[in-house]
Structures are given as structure tokens and as C-alpha cells.
A and B are shown apart, each in its own frame.
Chain A
């Protein structure tokens, strides 16, 4: 399975923000629910703009939403 090196805390942040649904987050960010699913499962790295929009939705710094974990 193709996994990206970028991990995220989106699922935890959704639950901490009123149990926000994936669809609600997708609508706020301007992507499809399937894209949010793919991001949470590490199957897709969002664009810089989408990453910032997600961080803004949670009112959280972007480096607390996403983390980069190199292979080494």
C-alpha cells in the first residue's frame, strides 16, 4: 500500500472539534469527502493550500496538524 511520509492528526482534531464529520471538514476545505478519507489514511498528501485550510478549520498551527516523517 502506498503511504506518504506526511502524517496527520486530522481524525483526532475532528473529534475534538464537536465530532466534526469528514464531510463537514471536506466542505469547509473545498475537497471531496473521499479526499479527506485518503488524507487521514495516509494515502494522499494534500496540497499546501489544502493543508493550510485544514489547519485553519481547526484553528491550529499547521505543524500540529501535519508532521513529516522521513524514511530514515
Chain B
């Protein structure tokens, strides 16, 4: 397995962890009725900002750890493992494009839900779920393109 593939798997794991923590907290707050107060949307906004910042921090830490572990395992031999060439950029472009379609579909479904009268908090969480699905799909698409080619 190449460095890029290991990096993608690390991203998938961190995505799963971050969004799992987020949705566990959201469900706890929902059960406690925290979103039904006047500050409900404000609380949701803070949770989403924490998700974004936390996701970035965890992702950076995970990639640093992957790079260190890979360097130790390969004895520093794979120096070009961190280099991004034309193939990496094409795979990234294709994967991100596909993820946009996934997120777009989820966003439209969220808007349909809102139009049918579903409250703002569940709709925002539907959008976050779309983001999570798009992120996972992008990672899986990258793995597919690295493994099978295109």
C-alpha cells in the first residue's frame, strides 16, 4: 500500500471519528432538549464550528503521525512519498468532483425536508450528514482510483 493510500485511509478514519463524536454530542443535546430553547440554533452553530476546527486539528495530527510512522517503517527510503505529481492531482480532482455531487444531492434533500416543514436543527444536521457522506465518498473514490487506475 502506498503512502497516498495510507494517507487516504487515515483521513477516512479521522472523518469517521470526528463525525461520530459530533453526532453523539448532538444526540445527547437533543435528548436533553437543548436545541428547543431560544439559544438552540446558536448552540448548533457552535457545535458545527467545533466540528470544523476539531476536524482540521485531528486531520493534521493524523497526517503527521502517518508521515512519521511511514518514514520509520520505510527507513526514510520513500522520499518522494510526500510529493504530489500530475496523477495525484488528477485523482484529487476526480474524487473532489464526485464528492461535490454527493454533497449536492444531500443538500437538495435537506432543502426538500425544510420545504416540507422540518425544523432548522434537523435540516442543518442533514446538511452535516451530507458533508460527512461526501467526505467518505471522496476518500473511497481516491482509494479506488489509486488502486484500479482511470
CB distance from B1 to the nearest CB of A (A): 11
Interface membership of B87, Cβ < 8 A:
yes
Interface membership of A11, Cβ < 8 A:
no
Interface size on B, residues (CB 8 A): 14
Docked pose: A23 CA to B146 CA in angstroms: 18
Name B83's closest neighbour in chain A (CB-CB): A32
**Contact size class for A?**
20 to 34
Interface of B, secondary structure class, is helix
* Contact with A44, one of B78, B80, B150 (Cβ below 8 angstroms): B150
Interface membership of B125, Cβ < 8 A:
no
Q: Hey, what's the 0/1 contact readout for B102-120 against A, CB within 8 Å counting as 1?
A: 0000000000000000000
Q: Hey, what's the 0/1 contact readout for B127-143 against A, CB within 8 Å counting as 1?
A: 00000000000000000
A31 touches B149 (CB 8 A): no
Residues in A with CB closer than 8 Å to B148 are 1-2, 43
Q: Contacts A1-B149, A42-B149, A43-B148 known; A30 to B85 CB distance under 8 Å?
A: yes
Name A43's closest neighbour in chain B (CB-CB): B149
Residues in B with CB closer than 8 Å to A26 are 80
Name B77's closest neighbour in chain A (CB-CB): A23
Interface residues of B (CB under 8 A from A): 2, 4, 78, 80-81, 83, 85-88, 146, 148-150
Between A and B, 9 residue pairs with Cβ closer than 8 Å are A1-B148, A2-B149, A4-B149, A30-B85, A31-B85, A32-B85, A35-B88, A43-B148, A43-B149
Known: A30-B85, A33-B80. 16 other contacts (CB 8 A): A1-B148, A2-B149, A3-B149, A4-B149, A23-B80, A26-B80, A27-B80, A31-B85, A32-B88, A34-B2, A35-B85, A38-B87, A42-B149, A43-B150, A44-B150, A46-B86
